[in-house]
Amino acid sequence: DANFKESQLQALRIGQPADMEADVYGKKVVYHGKVSGLGAGTGAAFALLPAQNATGNWIKVVQRVPVRIILDPKELAEHPLRVGLSMDVTVDTQDQSGKSLSDTPRTSALASTEVFDAQQRATDVKVDQMIAASLGHKAKTP
């Protein structure tokens, strides 16, 4: 995800090309990708409780919004990235024909795994047994 100021989102559209440079590789490696939508939200707008300002003073803070960019897998294989690296991102916003970021909700999971399924089933059985025992019933068998 690339963090953009909320004022920069107006021109961003799904499918726009993006060029990225990782600080770890410098300007010699340029990644190419496409804007795919908004990432998971962070910041004040997504906080469980809003910040309180008891003095009555208010300072506007421009929010940063994560924009999801899909990278070219071949480039990633050649020059692997790690979570948390700093990158410079440039999006070509000339083509405005795509959908705006907020118009395109995710329709499928970004990623999924079955690695914990067996453990989860075993845990569910134990929980059912504990609940049944506390209620004086016999637990259902899976």
Domain containing 89 — which CATH number? Answer: 2.40.30
**Per-residue confidence (pLDDT) for residue 74, from 0 to 100:** 94
CA distance readout (Å), 90 to 16, 24, 63:
10, 17, 19
| Higher-scoring residue by pLDDT: 93, 113 | 93
Q: What is the pLDDT of residues 25-46, one digit of tens each?
A: 988 999 999 998 877 665 555 5
Q: Does 92 share its domain with 131?
A: no
Closest to 1 (Cα-Cα) out of 93, 97, 85, 114: 85
**Per-residue confidence (pLDDT) for residue 75, from 0 to 100:** 94
Report the distance separating Cα 90 and Cα 109, nearest Å. Answer: 26
Q: What is the pLDDT of residues 95-108, one digit of tens each?
A: 988 888 665 556 67
Q: Does 123 share its domain with 100?
A: no
Find the domain containing 135 and state its range.
112-142
Q: Does 104 share its domain with 132?
A: no
Cβ within 8 Å of residue 11, ≥6 positions away: 93, 96
Q: Are 34 and 69 in contact (CB under 8 A)?
A: yes
